[in-house]
Amino acid sequence: MASPRMSSRASAYSALLPAFIVLAVVYIGSTVWTMWMSLTGSRMLPNNNFVGLRNYEILFSNDRWITSVHNLAFFGVLFVAISLALGFLLAVAIDQKVRSEDSWRSVYLYPYSMSFVVTGLVWQWLLNPTLGIQKLVRDMGFETFTFDWIAHAETVLYCLVIAGVWHAAGLVMAIMLAGLRGVDEDIWKAARVDGLPTWRVYASVVTPMLGASFATAGVLLSTSVVRLYDLSVAMTRGGPGIASEVPAKFVMDHLFERANISLATAAATSMLITVIAVVAPYMYWRTRVAARGRA
């Protein structure tokens, strides 16, 4: 990028004005305000009575918050692991010069175009114990078949995982397929000359080369985990009981229903710190890779 030193720098500033306002008011202003609120005793309306970390003490002894965090971790690990594994397998399968590749790809990716509300409602219907898949299998003659995970606190999170994987696995497939197509042709030739079986090439040569694709997909999935809200609201409303509550829902409920701003902002700040802990190393790594690429 050259930098033409021209006169109409004012125009450039005017074009960037909205972005700078957003930077100041939203990115910096809101974040600082949210963090500050979490240190005050604000309830229904914001106030500036500094109370130190008391809200965080209350937050981390709050059953619903602890459950929300556990749920998110449990959901997150399963959702990310299964989506990555399934997406990768699909990408490898499609990479075998299958017929009508485009049709397969559209089938795996279309759920990603739909909203979490739609996803949640469809899966809620499919997993409905009285009329859904359970009834289908029972009517086929297996009368003791049970698949009522959505109705039980111990299993409801698996339902969210199923819906989440259905929504996101295609995205992983698309990212991985792009990665696979980027692998140098010569590597395949060399491996064939060496007589390596295809699966060995994938396992020991190609997969390690897909580090960047795995990282990109992993970070995208992880950030969607932290944002998880609509799916839980639409599919289970956090239930049964509080068995599928998630942190984002905790924040929203405490902001708009329970009028407890300080607790909500303490929860939001905790989410922010978690995200930064995940994203900062990734950004650092990307910058390093980019710097090496340029050198």
Partner 1 sequence: MSGAAAMQTMSPPGDAGGPRSARPVRMTPARWGLYAFLAITAAFFLLPLWVMVVTSLKTMNEIRLGAIIAPPLAPTLEAWAKAWSSACTGLACDGIRVGFWNSVKILVPSVFISILVGSMTGYALSFWRVPGANVLFTAMMIVAFIPYQVFIYPLVRVFAFIGLGQSIATIVIVHTIFGLPTMTLLFRNYFSSLPIELFKAARIDGASFYQIFFRIMMPMATPMIVVAVILQVTGIWNDFILGLVFAGRENLPMTVQLNNIVASVQGEREYNVDMAATMLTALLPLVVYFGSGRWFVRGIAAGAVKG
Tell me whether residue 151 or residue 271 sits nearer to partner 1 (CB atom): 271
In whole angstroms, how close is the CB of 63 to partner 1 at the nearest point? 20
Q: 240-266 burial, b for 16+ CB within 10 Å, e for fewer? A: eebbbbbbbbbbbbbbeeeebbbbbbb
Contacts of 117 (CB under 8 A, 6+ apart): 230, 233, 234
Contact 213, 179 (CB under 8 A): yes
Contacts of 170 (CB under 8 A, 6+ apart): 87, 90, 105, 108, 109, 110, 111, 112
Tell me whether residue 154 or residue 274 sits nearer to partner 1 (CB atom): 274
In whole angstroms, how close is the CB of 266 to partner 1 at the nearest point? 11
Contact 60, 149 (CB under 8 A): no
In whole angstroms, how close is the CB of 57 to partner 1 at the nearest point? 20
Tell me whether residue 3 or residue 61 sits nearer to partner 1 (CB atom): 3
Tell me whether residue 154 or residue 184 sits nearer to partner 1 (CB atom): 184
Q: 29-68 burial, b for 16+ CB within 10 Å, e for fewer? A: eeeeebeebbbbebeeeeeeeeeeeebbeebeebebbebb
d(CA 59, CA 67): 11
Tell me whether residue 82 or residue 154 sits nearer to partner 1 (CB atom): 82
In whole angstroms, how close is the CB of 112 to partner 1 at the nearest point? 7
In whole angstroms, how close is the CB of 216 to partner 1 at the nearest point? 6
Tell me whether residue 81 or residue 154 sits nearer to partner 1 (CB atom): 81
